[in-house]
A and B are shown apart, each in its own frame.
Chain A
């Protein structure tokens, strides 16, 4: 799995993930998200376009970051969910927890409109 991140401006950060979000790989993402949140960056867009597998540990990592961002007045939103990854989200209703966008552009547009 690889993780890259960049500031998009307006206090919004993009985190791009690729590979498998499982127990073996999730700790790296968890550490990256925790660092961003500890630095006060609580508006995070996570791009999962290159994630082909997620298990409950991956879901737990994302929900934990979402919960923390929400409590700090921010949000963690998602884009690029492949059908199988989306199926896993749907099975536990997490597709209703997160704001999920079909593209980065639409996610950012939505964020700007809400400001």
Chain B
């Protein structure tokens, strides 16, 4: 079962103490299963819409989260139903931040093979030319679709993935 809570916390501006800014944030915890990823996508889409992103940008945020959660199930839990995924989003002053946490084994993006560099090199003629590389696409998408992606590992609690996307100009 998924659990979620919604919070709004005041934060003061370092530039003008009279301005009070209400950060919007929300959090969701789901079992690490592929059929929960759609649920996660809907959850982050709701936050991205509140942040003012257009449909294209919301799609990008959803795809980045999909890839991140798929990686968690495949690479850190190495199976479905092996642990939970906690996802939270926060609308800040300039960025929409998504934090995804799991308690699986340490995820080192450096161990993931580099994704193909577009356009993928395909030469027709030799059998080995059809060996298009398909590994590493998930991390590639996350970095391509979000403005900042960082991986961190906490001994004892697990992986923390932070992804940021700049808010649209008003």
A interface residues (Cβ-Cβ under 8 A, vs B): 20, 22-24, 55-57, 59-60, 63-64, 66-67, 70-71, 84, 88, 90-97
If over half of A's interface residues share one DSSP class (helix, strand or loop), that class is named, otherwise mixed; here it is helix
Residues of B within 8 A of A59 (CB): 134, 137
**Measured between C-beta atoms, what is the minimum distance from B31 to chain A in Å?**
13
Q: Does B99 contact A (CB under 8 A)?
A: no
Partner of A84, one of B59, B115, B134: B59
Q: Is the interface of B mostly helix, strand, loop or mixed?
A: helix
A contact residues around B153 at 8 Å (CB): none
Given contacts A20-B38, A91-B141, A92-B137, contact A56 B118 (CB under 8 A): no
Q: Which residues of B contact A (CB under 8 A)?
A: 34-35, 37-38, 56, 59, 63, 66-67, 70, 73, 115-120, 122, 127, 130-132, 134, 137-138, 140-141, 144
Decide: A60 near B137, CB < 8 A? Known: A22-B66, A23-B70, A55-B67: yes
Contact partner of A23 (CB less than 8 A), chosen from B34, B120, B132, B137, is B34
A93 x B117 contact (CB < 8 A): yes
CA distance A20 to B80 in the complex (A): 19
Residues of B near A70 (CB, < 8 A) are 130
Is B63 in contact with A88, judged by CB distance below 8 angstroms?
A: yes
> Complex formed: what's the CA distance from A71 to B131 in Å?
10
Beyond A24-B34, A24-B37, A24-B38, whether A91 also contacts B130 by CB under 8 A is no
Chain A residue nearest to B36 (CB atoms) is A24
Set of chain B residues within 8 Å of A90, measured between Cβ atoms: 118
Contact assessment for B118 and A93 in the assembled complex, using a CB-CB cutoff below 8 Å: yes
